[in-house]
């Protein structure tokens, strides 16, 4: 019994409408799911964003170029997690309430030695192999010289080393591998200098915190080093305030702040494009007000002329010194930039009184000789070395451990 044909038509229309509504609903929901998935793929925190700069002819005062040796780093070398420190493996969320417990600093260079040895053995092992030849003729000595020059030891130190080695090998007469290793070790240590004071000064005054200013060309690892140094200090029980005086990019302050948050160090920052000197001043002021032990000031290196660099860093230094003297001015140099690093070092040394050198990215180069060359150039000791991108991959520089890593023991 179907008396109303039109009713059936209405029912059909209703069904079609319902299906359309259902389809639209499904479409909307899946759209939401997709967009919420997209949201989860936001770019990572600035601290983990690698600086990608196109390779270019390097110039002093410019942004750092892509490290010369980058192509030599294998995936294996770069990608290895810090095997000695599984407990510091960090969750992705930067705002995690639990603070990191940084590794103790004692013996770090020894612990990170494998990383050093992996990239450095071409120097030490190469020298030992050459010295072990039965006949140390003129050609062999030239090869030894070339090996040292290739490792960025520098011309004058290379000539000194070769001269001393020649003399001592001659006096020695017959030589065993052990004797050669001992000889090479001693001579490399002499070149590195064993009586430099390599302690990073952070005592400050009676009423004022220790103040450390970190300078260097962009991309060398200033912010990373400042962050790692904050961890070292916190691990030693000191309270730290960070000053984000690189105001060229907001991301630079974010990057520093992320480092600080992980260990509970506060970051004093200002507006993008603000005056770096006033931020540095405020950071020290905050440090004094809080009774902090140390204030670390990260600066910008994107300064294209020596005058600009002089004006800006000079001003930061002068302004900070209104509170009290600076304890350290650390120059950060990227070990992979070789001789260009030396040119940078010279310029910065003319602008501010460098008290210590931090040589970063020693894990990514076979040119460890730059340690010798840069100390020679500035007459200032290498105090810290960077051996990776991990939070605890910063080590006090110890000449003995370094040389042992170079030539094996």
Binding site for Mg ion (CB under 5 A): 222-223, 252
Stretch that binds ligand GDP, among 122-130, 197-205, 268-276, 358-366 (CB under 6 A): 358-366
Strand order in the sheet with 294-299: 266-268, 240-245, 294-299, 210-215, 328-334, 356-360, 382-386, 394-396
219 binds ligand GDP (CB under 6 A): yes
Binds 388: which of ligand GDP, Mg ion, none (CB < 5-8 Å by kind): ligand GDP
Residue from 126, 221, 276, 399 touching ligand GDP (CB under 6 A): that is: 221
By CB under 6 A, tell whether 299 contacts ligand GDP. no
Residue 115 binding target from ligand GDP, Mg ion, none, CB below 5 to 8 Å by type: none
Report d(CA 226, CA 223) in Å as an integer.
5
From candidates 364, 369, 391, 396, binder to ligand GDP by CB under 6 A: 364
Total residues at interface with ligand GDP (CB under 6 A): 20
Task: Yes or no: say if 252 and 299 are a contact pair by the CB < 8 Å rule.
Answer: no
Q: Which is nearer to ligand GDP, 234 or 387 (CB)?
A: 387
Closest CA to 371 of 113, 193, 106: 193
Is 389 a binding residue for ligand GDP by CB under 6 A? The answer is yes
For residue 303, CA distances in Å to 33, 62, 225, 255 come to 46, 6, 19, 20
Q: Of the candidates 119, 220, 247, 340, which one interacts with ligand GDP according to CB under 6 A?
A: 220
- CB of 213 closer than 8 Å to CB of 316: yes
Contact 44, 92 (CB under 8 A): yes
Are 354 and 347 in contact by the 8 Å Cβ rule? The answer is: no
> Which residue stretch of 150-158, 273-281, 310-318, 356-364 sits at the interface with ligand GDP (rule: CB under 6 A)?
356-364
- What is the C-alpha to C-alpha distance for residues 356 and 120, in angstroms, rounded to an integer? 23
In Å, how far are 133, 140, 147 from 137, measured between CA atoms? 9, 5, 16
Quick check: 395 binds ligand GDP (CB under 6 A)? no
Give the tokens for residue 75: 């995936």
Q: How far from 85 is each of 112, 172, 179, CA to CA, in Å?
A: 11, 44, 36
Task: Select 210 or 219, whichever has its Cβ closest to ligand GDP.
Answer: 219
Residue 202 makes contact with ligand GDP by CB under 6 A: no
Which CB sits closer to Mg ion, 180 or 245?
A: 245
In the complex, the smallest distance separating the C-beta of residue 357 from Mg ion, rounded to whole angstroms, is 17
Q: Taking CB under 6 A as the rule, which mask of x and - marks residues 311-350 in contact with ligand GDP?
A: ----------------------------------------
Contact between 50 and ligand GDP per CB under 6 A: yes
CB of 151 to ligand GDP, least distance (A): 18
How many other CB atoms sit within 10 Å of the CB of residue 179?
Answer: 14
Minimal distance, residue 226 CB to Mg ion, in Å: 8
Whole-number Å distance between alpha carbons of 277 and 321: 11
Q: Is-contact 58 65, C-beta < 8 A?
A: yes
Q: Which is nearer to Mg ion, 217 or 252 (CB)?
A: 252
**Residues in contact with ligand GDP by the rule CB under 6 A:** 50-51, 216, 218-224, 301, 360-361, 363-364, 386-389, 393
């Amino acid at each position: 019994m179907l008396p109303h044909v039109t009713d059936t038509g209405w029912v059909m229309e209703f069904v079609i409408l319902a299906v359309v509504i259902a389809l639209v609903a499904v479409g909307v929901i899946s759209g939401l799911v997709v967009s919420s998935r997209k949201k989860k793929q936001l770019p990572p925190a600035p601290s983990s964003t690698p600086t990608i700069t196109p390779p270019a002819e390097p110039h002093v005062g410019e942004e750092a170029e892509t490290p010369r040796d980058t192509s030599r780093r294998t995936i294996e070398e770069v990608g290895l997690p810090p095997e000695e420190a599984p407990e510091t493996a960090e969750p992705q969320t930067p705002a995690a309430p639990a603070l990191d417990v940084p590794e103790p600093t004692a013996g770090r260079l020894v612990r990170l030695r494998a990383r050093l040895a992996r990239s450095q053995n071409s120097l030490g092992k190469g020298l030992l192999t050459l010295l072990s030849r039965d006949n140390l003729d003129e050609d062999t000595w030239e090869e030894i010289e070339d090996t040292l020059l290739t490792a960025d030891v520098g011309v004058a130190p290379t000539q000194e080393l070769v001269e001393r080695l020649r003399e001592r090998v001659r006096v020695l007469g017959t030589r065993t591998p052990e004797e050669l290793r001992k000889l090479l070790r001693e001579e490399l240590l002499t070149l590195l200098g064993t009586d430099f004071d390599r302690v990073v000064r952070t005592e400050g005054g009676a009423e004022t915190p220790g103040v450390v200013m970190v300078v260097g060309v962009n991309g060398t690892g200033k912010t990373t080093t400042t962050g790692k140094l904050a961890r070292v200090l916190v691990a030693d029980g000191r309270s730290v305030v960070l000053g984000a005086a690189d105001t060229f990019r907001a991301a630079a302050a974010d990057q520093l702040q992320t480092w600080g948050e992980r260990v509970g160090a506060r970051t004093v920052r200002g507006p993008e494009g603000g005056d770096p000197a006033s931020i540095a001043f405020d950071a020290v002021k905050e440090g004094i007000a809080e009774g902090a032990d140390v204030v670390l000031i990260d600066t910008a290196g994107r300064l294209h002329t020596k005058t600009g660099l002089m004006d800006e860093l000079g001003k930061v230094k002068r302004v900070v010194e209104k509170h009290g003297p600076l304890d350290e001015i650390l120059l950060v140099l990227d070990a992979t930039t070789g001789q260009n690093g030396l040119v940078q070092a010279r310029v910065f040394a003319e602008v501010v009184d460098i008290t210590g050198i931090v040589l970063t990215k020693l894990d990514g180069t076979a040119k460890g000789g730059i340690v010798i060359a840069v100390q020679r150039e500035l007459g200032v000791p290498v105090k810290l070395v960077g051996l990776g991108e991990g939070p605890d991959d910063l080590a006090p520089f110890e000449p003995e451990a370094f040389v042992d890593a170079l030539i094996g023991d």
